[in-house]
Amino acid sequence: MYRYDHYDQTIVDQRVAQFRDQVSRRLSGEISEDEFKPLRLQNGLYMQLHAYMLRVAIPYGLLSSRQLRKLAEVSRKYDRGYGHFSTRQNIQYNWPRLQDVPKILAELATVEMHSIQTSGNCIRNTTSDHLAGVARDELVDPRVYCEIIRQWSTFHPEFAFLPRKFKIAVTGAPTADRAAVRVHDIGVRVVPDPEGGDDYGFQILVGGGLGRTPRIAQVCREFLPREQLLSYLEAILRVYNRHGRRDNKFKARIKILVGALGIAEFKGQVEEEWAQIRDGAMTLTQAEFDRVAAYFQDPDYAELEPSDLFVDSLKLGKDRTLGRWVASNVIGHKIPGYSIVMVSLKPKGKPPGDATAEQMELVADLADRYGFGRVVVTHEQNLVLPDVESRHLPEVHAQLSASSLAEPNVGKVTDIIACPGLDYCNLANARSIPIATEIGERIDDLDYLHDLGDISLNISGCINACGHHHVGNIGILGIDKQGEEFYQLMLGGSSSDDASLGRILGPAFPRAEVVEAVATVLRTYIDQRESADERFLDYVRRAGFEPFKERLYGDA
Amino acid sequence: MKLWIITGSATDDGAPIYLQTGARWTRTLSAAEPVADDQPQHKLALLEAARAQQRIVCDPYPMEVRRGSDGELAPISLREKIRAEGPTILRVGAPTSRPTAVSA
Ligand code: SF4
């Protein structure tokens, strides 16, 4: 993984010193909250309902075991002994004291971490496929490009005050989008050369996003030669920076600009801008690519026998607990004999994405003992041990299980993505986490859970959609009706290759009824699907909303 | 008649704090100084007093409260209730309120 050089370390250390001074001036009353707010936000420090919240960047979700141990230590020393992994592959601490934040940042700097650009109207953490580097269907390791984008975008003077925040995602697997690139401001897809050449390039998507105006991204360029990635991104950012609306926060994202201009006009402006800067200083040379790619070389994998049959035998074995876990939480690795282990942070009754210090330490230990000391955070709020020798799966399962980290539900309906909602968030209309935990409690029959198959369920506590409810196969949006929590159900969303936005099913449900409504949706699907092979999403697309409406609302 | 108190977030840890008599701050909502709707000048004065203490408090604002049957001040909105009492997460799913499991 990428290691800081002298410049990176100096920049981060200086930033900590600068923020320490700002905090001390705030605590002494020398500067007011109004003056301090933009400074703290530039360091990822928010104010929530009960406390400050510190968001720490995890570039493209990749952590070393050493970094994960440090995150655990910080949570124990300065917070309440847990952290929350977010849908942007970052971690958030919900209870830091202001005077401790510079100390936290100083500790994080010792393991090459920071919270720069985790807030504000700048280019945020570039996210990626959580299986990057180990996926069987990957054409190119996207982390190399994520890192190149990170270095280009960090403290980019031209893009420090964009009209609004800006999110980029990169996927290196041409046929399986696990990075939700179509719902990002810019989505970058590695694609083979359409002319049939040996090289690859990028398809560039633009104008996707969720929030109050959800949009699926449109193609801005079908094929971009790979050496032009930064020049093209720069051209897009320039057009956005010039024309994006700054008068209305709710119309400031690039998706609104793309919608207003139309993709043809937007693309025309980008190409015009690009014509002026392409082949210039931002051209990615092979030497620069190699420099960054060197950090993402494969670890020293052993030469092992293929293990797919062994893994299948575990799935069908007598130990049903292990079998279920292998079936849902273990993925085939690109190297024979290895497996990818998904560590579920969605155990029954616990807030999705939360991990205690002890759990983080255990995962770090397992990464060292059974892998190469690497851990990945997924945008679905789980963790990944990317390099486990398949023969160790039973041991790894036993250890995860003992720490409530082996819920066999990855990709299942209880693998819920939920924002913090009204339990923490200042902007919320309704709670998200209790709905998630109650759904988890409700669907507690594992055979039933697995029979339901892969279903994504996303919950947001307000229209800002941090829980990505528009792209859940089932989406739940919390709304406030005269002081009462209500929840709108949406069906049919997907953030994958077949990306689509869910549509509202009907009138919202009161708090006391929403969990039962979800259960009814699931029962309707089970009763009426053609076969167990028909996925929930496919059923919704085929049958439409009527069968659900009938059961939920009586006469539709 | 509506009752109000002044609240904000403590600068040192972001916790909700409430203005009490003597322009001092408390972390106990029920100890706050209430002001009724028919005293708009007093309400404004309290808000001004709060704003003057920007070293201690962030973004003070008036919040509506009511008097419970026990005579104690209590928040009206769910947001303020959660803010005052902390996240509800650990209380949900209590056996009495937990729905029965779905079966296939
Ligand atoms: S969706 Fe709304 S409630 Fe949830 S975290 Fe985002 S802003 Fe807060």
Token pair of A439, please?
A: 């759904």
B59–A47 C-beta distance less than 8 A: yes
Name, in order, each residue with C-beta under 8 angstroms of A502's C-beta and a sequence gap of 6 or more: A469, A470, A471, A472, A473, A474, A475, A490, A491, A492, A493
Mutate to test the interface with A, among B17, B27, B51, B78 (most CBs of A within 10 A): B78
Phi, psi of A133 (to 5 degrees): 90, -20
- Answer yes or no: is the C-beta of A517 below 6 A from any ligand 1 atom: no
Amino acid at A89: Q
pTM: 0.94
* B88 reaches A (C-beta below 8 A): yes
Mutate to test the interface with B, among A23, A423, A522 (most CBs of B within 10 A): A423
Q: Residue A125 and residue A128: Cα distance in Å, rounded?
A: 10
Q: How many residues does chain B have?
A: 104
Do the bridges between strand A186-192 and strand A91-93 make them parallel or antiparallel, or are there none, so unpaired? unpaired
The residue out of A263, A294, A325 marking a domain boundary is: A294
Please report residues of B whose CB lies closer than 8 A to that of A439: none
Is A262 found in the same domain as A164?
Answer: yes
The CA distances from residue A172 to A80, A131, A219, in Å, are: 37, 10, 17
Q: What is the 3-state secondary structure (H, E, C) of A331-382?
A: EECCCCCEEEEEECCCCCCCCCCEEEHHHHHHHHHHHHHHCCCEEEECCCCC
Do the bridges between strand A484-491 and strand A503-504 make them parallel or antiparallel, or are there none, so unpaired? antiparallel
A442–B99 C-beta distance less than 8 A: yes
Atom of ligand 1 nearest to the CA of A428: 3
CA dihedral sign, ordered A357, A359, A363, A369? positive
How far does residue A158's CA lie from ligand 1's centre (Å)? Answer: 29
Mean pLDDT, range A416-440, rounded to an integer: 96
Name, in order, each residue with C-beta under 8 angstroms of A312's C-beta and a sequence gap of 6 or more: none
Q: Can you give the pLDDT at residue A196?
A: 86
Please report residues of B whose CB lies closer than 8 A to that of A519: 99, 102
User: Tokens 């929030």 appear where?
Assistant: A211
Is A272 found in the same domain as A149?
Answer: yes
Q: How many residues does chain A have?
A: 556
The residue out of A264, A294, A324 marking a domain boundary is: A294
Q: Please give the residue range of the domain that contains residue B18.
A: 3-85
Q: Can you give the pLDDT at residue A424?
A: 95
Q: What's the pLDDT tens digit per position in B43-90? A: 999 999 999 999 999 999 999 999 999 999 999 999 999 999 999 986
- Answer yes or no: is the C-beta of A122 below 6 A from any ligand 1 atom: no
Q: Residue A452 and residue A60: Cα distance in Å, rounded?
A: 30
Q: Residue B100 and residue A415: Cα distance in Å, rounded?
A: 20
Nearest residue in chain A measured CA to CA from B87 = A423
Mean pLDDT, range A435-456, rounded to an integer: 94
Residue B10 counted as domain residue: yes
The secondary element (H helix, E strand) that includes residue A15 is helix A6-28
Strand partners, B16: B9
Token pair of B88, please?
A: 């509800």
CATH number of the domain that residue A42 is part of: 3.90.480.20
The secondary element (H helix, E strand) that includes residue A73 is helix A65-78
Please report residues of B whose CB lies closer than 8 A to that of A428: 79
Q: Can you give the pLDDT at residue B54?
A: 95
Q: What's the pLDDT tens digit per position in A266-299? A: 999 999 999 999 999 999 999 999 999 999 999 9
Nearest residue in chain A measured CA to CA from B57 = A33
Is A429 found in the same domain as A393?
Answer: no
Total number of domains constituting chain B? 1
CB A24 within 8 A of CB A39: no
* B26 reaches A (C-beta below 8 A): no
Is A159 found in the same domain as A90?
Answer: no
Residue B99 counted as domain residue: no
B16–A50 C-beta distance less than 8 A: yes
Q: Can you give the pLDDT at residue B90?
A: 61
How far does residue A341's CA lie from ligand 1's centre (Å)? Answer: 29
Token pair of A74, please?
A: 């910080």
Amino acid at A161: F
Phi, psi of A458 (to 5 degrees): -125, 140
Name, in order, each residue with C-beta under 8 angstroms of A275's C-beta and a sequence gap of 6 or more: none
CB-nearest to B12 from A97, A443, A523 is A97
Is A319 found in the same domain as A290?
Answer: no
Mean pLDDT of chain A: 96
Is A15 found in the same domain as A44?
Answer: yes
Is A529 found in the same domain as A462?
Answer: yes
Q: Residue A337 and residue A387: Cα distance in Å, rounded?
A: 10
Residue B91 counted as domain residue: no
Residue B61 counted as domain residue: yes
CATH number of the domain that residue A218 is part of: 3.30.413.10
* Three-state SS at A47: strand
Residue A337 counted as domain residue: yes
Q: Please tell me what DSSP assigns to residue A123.
A: B
Residue B63 counted as domain residue: yes
Residue A412 counted as domain residue: no
Beta-carbon contacts below 8 Å between A and B:
97
Q: Can you give the pLDDT at residue A46?
A: 97
Q: What's the pLDDT tens digit per position in A226-250? A: 999 999 999 999 999 999 999 999 9
Q: Can you give the pLDDT at residue B101?
A: 33
pLDDT at A340 over 70: yes
Is A451 found in the same domain as A547?
Answer: yes
Q: What's the pLDDT tens digit per position in B15-49? A: 999 999 999 999 999 999 999 999 999 999 999 99
pLDDT at A91 over 60: yes
Mutate to test the interface with B, among A54, A100, A422, A514 (most CBs of B within 10 A): A422
B76–A50 C-beta distance less than 8 A: no
Residue A93 counted as domain residue: yes
The secondary element (H helix, E strand) that includes residue B57 is strand B57-67
Amino acid at A69: R
For residue B99, name the pLDDT band (cuts at 50, 70, 90).
Answer: very low
DSSP track, A494-516: B-STT-B--EE-SSPEEHHHHHH
Mean pLDDT, range A527-541, rounded to an integer: 97
CB A217 within 8 A of CB A208: yes
How far does residue A421's CA lie from ligand 1's centre (Å)? Answer: 5
Q: Can you give the pLDDT at residue A146?
A: 97
Q: Residue A311 and residue A433: Cα distance in Å, rounded?
A: 34
CA dihedral sign, ordered A120, A126, A131, A137? positive
Amino acid at A265: E
Q: Can you give the pLDDT at residue B97?
A: 32
* B28 reaches A (C-beta below 8 A): no
CA A163 to chain centre: 23
Half-sphere exposure of A150 (CA within 13 A, CB side): 25
How far does residue A420's CA lie from ligand 1's centre (Å)? Answer: 7
B15–A50 C-beta distance less than 8 A: yes
Residue B100 counted as domain residue: no
Q: Please give the residue range of the domain that contains residue A519.
A: 417-553
How far does residue A461's CA lie from ligand 1's centre (Å)? Answer: 5
Q: What's the pLDDT tens digit per position in A483-518? A: 999 999 999 999 999 999 999 999 999 999 999 999
Percent of chain B having pLDDT more than 90?
84
- Answer yes or no: is the C-beta of A462 below 6 A from any ligand 1 atom: yes
Is A462 found in the same domain as A367?
Answer: no
CB A185 within 8 A of CB A218: no
CB B56 within 8 A of CB B24: no
For residue B98, name the pLDDT band (cuts at 50, 70, 90).
Answer: very low
- Mutation test of ligand 1: which of A431, A460, A479 has the most ligand atoms closer than 8 Å to its C-beta? A460
Is A339 found in the same domain as A444?
Answer: no
- A38 to chain B, closest Cα gap in Å: 13
Q: Can you give the pLDDT at residue A555?
A: 57
pLDDT at B100 over 70: no
Total number of domains constituting chain A? 4
Q: Chain A residues with CB-CB distance to B under 8 A?
A: 26-29, 32-33, 47-52, 95, 97-99, 349, 351, 422-424, 428, 431, 433-434, 437-438, 441-445, 447-448, 451, 483, 485, 515-516, 519, 522-523, 526
- Mutation test of ligand 1: which of A426, A464, A490 has the most ligand atoms closer than 8 Å to its C-beta? A464
Please report residues of A whose CB lies closer than 8 A to that of B104: 445, 447-448, 451, 526
Residue B94 counted as domain residue: no
Is A354 found in the same domain as A244?
Answer: no
Percent of chain A having pLDDT more than 90?
97
Percent of chain A having pLDDT more than 70?
100
Q: Can you give the pLDDT at residue A187?
A: 98
Is A181 found in the same domain as A265?
Answer: yes
